[in-house]
């Protein structure tokens, strides 16, 4: 009886084992990409994300590798990171204009690449609506990376590593112009600067009067910054905004650089009222991201402040805030209102916004 029972049990186990190993059974499904949540400081507004490009651990890792890969330039000598250096706040190191892979020089100062989730239009004139649409332009520009994006896709398809990485990040989608753009955009969206600077700490502790926590010079600088009689900076660089800029009515502005303005946003909109208007940048990390303005004309923050004090030039689309400080009876010449001490104080305040950890954070460094 026992022998028969053992035979019966053994037969059942063998049958189950054979069935479980049947070649007709479908393979176990592969796990999909791991969703990634952005590390956003408390009380920051909701980021502008693209619903079709959900952030994943695998997508961000792939985008990081692509950001540092010189394969994405025509002659294989330049990566995105060469003109957007982490150690310089993701700008080009102290350069007015960047030099492309073929030695051609650009016409705009390389913009910093942090906190891009809170922008409404990219490049100095805002001509690209999303980060995902932005990626292709510098890759293909002759004075930048000089590589057609379709050629980039072919190179990546032929590479021994990238097909598997794209499969992990975008299962079943392959290496396409879309997945290439989406991967780099995912990485850029993770570069968030702020939340732990001295300014953030002071503002979180005393929102109404953060100057009470500052040094005497920093406090004077902050008060001059928000004073309409002194700096009058807050209209375009709102201290209540985490980015210290204005994303509503002054995200693009003509700040009086020239009496005959550069084209600016009019190239994107065709609206004559946008002549000479350029992106209002964040004031975070200014110690690392010079030179300043869309054409890099100012090497120092003192020069920037002196422009707003005595150097701005009138044109039909100049911002109304500057008109307040102009002599209407003298061809709208600037009326100086800042002393050298005022400028030094404002610069001391602005340095509170520096985030040195961003410059070396390994999660954004070359993999």
286-323 core/surface letters (b: 16 or more CB in 10 A; e: else): bebbbbbbbbbebeebebbbbbbbeebbebebbbebbe
- Residues 236-261 have a mean pLDDT of 89
Homologous superfamily (CATH) of 57-192 is Cytochrome c-like domain (1.10.760.10)
Tokens 């869309």 sit at which residue? 294
**pLDDT value of residue 6:** 41
d(CA 253, CA 170): 39
- Residues 237-253 have a mean pLDDT of 85
Rounded to the nearest 5°, which phi and psi values hold at 225?
-60, -40
- Residues 170-199 have a mean pLDDT of 97
CA angle 63, 66, 72 (to 5 degrees): 140
pLDDT at 236 over 60: yes
- Whether the bond between 136 and the residue before it is cis, its omega within 30 degrees of 0, is no
d(CA 242, CA 17): 61
Topology (CATH) of 198-358? Cytochrome Bc1 Complex; Chain D, domain 2 (1.10.760)
**pLDDT value of residue 27:** 53
At residue 324 the predicted structure's pLDDT band, cuts being 50, 70 and 90, is very high
d(CA 26, CA 353): 56
At residue 26 the predicted structure's pLDDT band, cuts being 50, 70 and 90, is low
CB 122 within 8 A of CB 48: no
Burial class (CB in 10 A: 0-12, 13-18, 19+), 65: middle
Rounded to the nearest 5°, which phi and psi values hold at 317?
-105, 15
**pLDDT tens, residue by residue, 83-109:** 999 999 999 999 999 999 999 999 999
Going by their DSSP bridges, the two strands 333-334 and 326-327 should be labelled as antiparallel
The least confident of 10-24, 220-234, 310-324 is: 10-24
Dump the DSSP string for 255-302.
-SS-SS---BTHHHH--GGGBT-EE----TTTTTS-SBSTT--B-SHH
Mean pLDDT of the chain: 92
The least confident of 19-33, 34-48, 161-175 is: 19-33
**pLDDT tens, residue by residue, 34-49:** 999 999 998 898 999 9
**pLDDT value of residue 344:** 98
CA angle 356, 362, 367 (to 5 degrees): 140
pLDDT at 248 over 80: no
The least confident of 15-29, 151-165, 275-289, 351-365 is: 15-29
**pLDDT tens, residue by residue, 46-74:** 999 999 999 999 999 999 999 999 999 99
- Residues 145-154 have a mean pLDDT of 98
pLDDT at 334 over 80: yes
How is the chain split into domains, by residue range? 57-192, 198-358
């Amino acid at each position: 009886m026992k022998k028969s029972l053992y035979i019966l049990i053994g037969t059942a186990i063998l049958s189950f084992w054979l069935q479980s190993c049947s070649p007709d059974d479908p393979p176990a499904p592969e796990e999909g990409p791991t969703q990634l949540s952005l590390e956003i400081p408390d009380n920051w507004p909701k980021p502008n994300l693209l619903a079709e490009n959900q952030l994943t651990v695998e997508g961000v890792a792939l985008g990081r590798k692509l950001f540092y890969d010189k394969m994405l330039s025509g002659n294989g000598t330049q990566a995105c990171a060469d003109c957007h250096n982490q150690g310089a706040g993701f700008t080009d190191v102290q350069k007015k204009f960047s030099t492309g892979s073929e030695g051609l020089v650009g016409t705009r100062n390389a913009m910093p690449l942090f906190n891009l989730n809170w922008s409404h239009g990219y490049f100095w004139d805002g001509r690209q609506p999303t980060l995902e649409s932005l990626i292709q332009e510098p890759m293909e520009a002759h004075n930048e990376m000089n590589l057609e994006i379709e050629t980039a896709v072919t190179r990546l398809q032929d590479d021994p590593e990238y097909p598997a990485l794209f499969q992990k990040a975008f299962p079943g989608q392959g290496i396409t112009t879309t997945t290439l753009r989406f991967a780099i955009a995912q990485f850029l969206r993770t570069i968030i600067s702020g939340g732990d600077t001295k300014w953030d700490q002071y503002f979180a502790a005393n929102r109404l009067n953060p100057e009470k926590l500052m040094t005497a010079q920093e406090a004077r600088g902050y008060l001059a910054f928000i004073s309409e009689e002194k700096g009058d900076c807050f209209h375009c660089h709102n201290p209540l905004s985490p980015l210290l800029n204005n994303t509503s009515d002054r995200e693009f502005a003509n700040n009086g650089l020239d009496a005959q303005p550069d084209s600016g946003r009019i190239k994107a909109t065709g609206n004559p009222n946008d002549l000479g208007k350029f992106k209002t940048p964040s004031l975070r990390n200014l110690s690392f991201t010079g030179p300043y303005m869309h054409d890099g004309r100012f090497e120092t923050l003192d020069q920037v402040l002196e422009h707003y004090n005595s150097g701005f030039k009138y044109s039909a689309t100049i911002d109304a805030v500057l008109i307040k400080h102009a002599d209407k009876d003298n061809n709208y010449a600037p009326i100086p209102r800042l002393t050298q001490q005022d400028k030094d104080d404002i610069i001391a305040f602005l340095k509170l916004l520096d985030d040195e950890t961003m410059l070396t954070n390994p999660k954004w460094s070359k993999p």
